[in-house]
Amino acid sequence: MSRGSLRVQSLAYAYPSGRQALYGINLDVEPGERVAVLGPNGAGKTTFVLHLNGVLGGGLGQVEVGGLLVERANLREVRRRVGIVFENPDDQLFMSTVGDDVAFGPANLGLRGQALDVCVDIALARVGMTHGRERPPHQLSAGERRRVALATVLAMDPELLVLDEPSSHLDPRARRELAEVLRGLDLTLLMVTHDLPYALELCERALILDEGVIVADGPTRDILRDDDLLHAHRLELPTGFDPTRV
């Protein structure tokens, strides 16, 4: 399998409480593809995403990233290859400065000195936040914090980028700035979102996950044009939004 590819085979998972969250997920994503993962609350999207870098495991089936099996023996490399940017940036920003946050991951991999400084500079430049290197994260705007959280992941040189509700709580300008950054990244991307216009803007392919099953998979525009499909799985376009005109 090529760098950045994802293969999920017969993935099923039940929580210790006995609640079944995933029922035999099968998915292939090619290198460089951008795929939106849509679905209502409680559909299993978060459970699915946490299997991609081994936070959850122990169920049935398997996940491979670039041919590397997601299993305990490979977790260090898997977590470098699969970068997850969580909905709340504060889950990823905990150091005293932006630069220290971005340096944290590469430093744990053994990078030091000038090489570490260059890595941080490149990651911040990719998200347009070079000017914020010495600032405390809590002094940044919501959009800036989101981009710095993205930089902490990019500094690890991932092959697969997973975004959890990237546009949530962002004003229109911050939403646009983040979209511009994401369009410029040459990475395989999975974006979990309820923001259907954002999915159409950034992902050529979309799937709908509901009740632990992939119920639709195809071009994003085609899925968003299917009113009956969206209604059946509790998804709604904004009033007046016409995907055929975008």
- Classify residue 184: in a domain, yes or no: yes
- Classify residue 240: in a domain, yes or no: no
Determine whether 37 is exposed, middle or buried from the number of CB atoms within 10 Å of its CB (0-12, 13-18, 19+). Answer: buried
Distance of alpha carbon 31 from alpha carbon 27, whole angstroms: 13
Q: Which residues pair with 164 in a beta bridge?
A: 192
DSSP 83-145: EEE-SSGGGT--SSSHHHHHHHHHHHTT--HHHHHHHHHHHHHHTT-GGGTTS-GGGS-HHHH
- Classify residue 246: in a domain, yes or no: no
Range of the domain at 207: 6-235
- Classify residue 84: in a domain, yes or no: yes
- Tell me what pLDDT residue 246 has: 76
- Tell me what pLDDT residue 69 has: 97
Q: Which residues pair with 31 in a beta bridge?
A: none
**By C-alpha distance, which of 124, 81, 74, 78 is closest to 102?**
124
**In one letter, which amino acid is 199?**
A
- Classify residue 32: in a domain, yes or no: yes
Q: Which residues pair with 34 in a beta bridge?
A: 189
- Classify residue 241: in a domain, yes or no: no
- Tell me what pLDDT residue 174 has: 97
DSSP 197-219: HHHHHH-SEEEEEETTEEEEEEE
CATH code of 117's domain = 3.40.50.300
- Tell me what pLDDT residue 1 has: 67
Q: Give the largest CA-CA distance in the chain.
A: 56
pTM of the model: 0.94
Contacts of 239 (CB under 8 A, 6+ apart): none
- Tell me what pLDDT residue 115 has: 97
- Classify residue 242: in a domain, yes or no: no
- Tell me what pLDDT residue 2 has: 85
In a structure prediction context, what are the per-residue pLDDT tens digits for the chain, which is 246 residues long? Answer: 688 999 999 999 999 999 999 999 999 999 999 999 999 999 999 999 999 999 999 999 999 999 999 999 999 999 999 999 999 999 999 999 999 999 999 999 999 999 999 999 999 999 999 999 999 999 999 999 999 999 999 999 999 999 999 999 999 999 999 999 999 999 999 999 999 999 999 999 999 999 999 999 999 999 999 999 999 999 999 999 999 887
Domain count, the chain: 1
Crossing angle, helix 142-154 and helix 113-126, to 10 degrees? Answer: 130
- Classify residue 140: in a domain, yes or no: yes
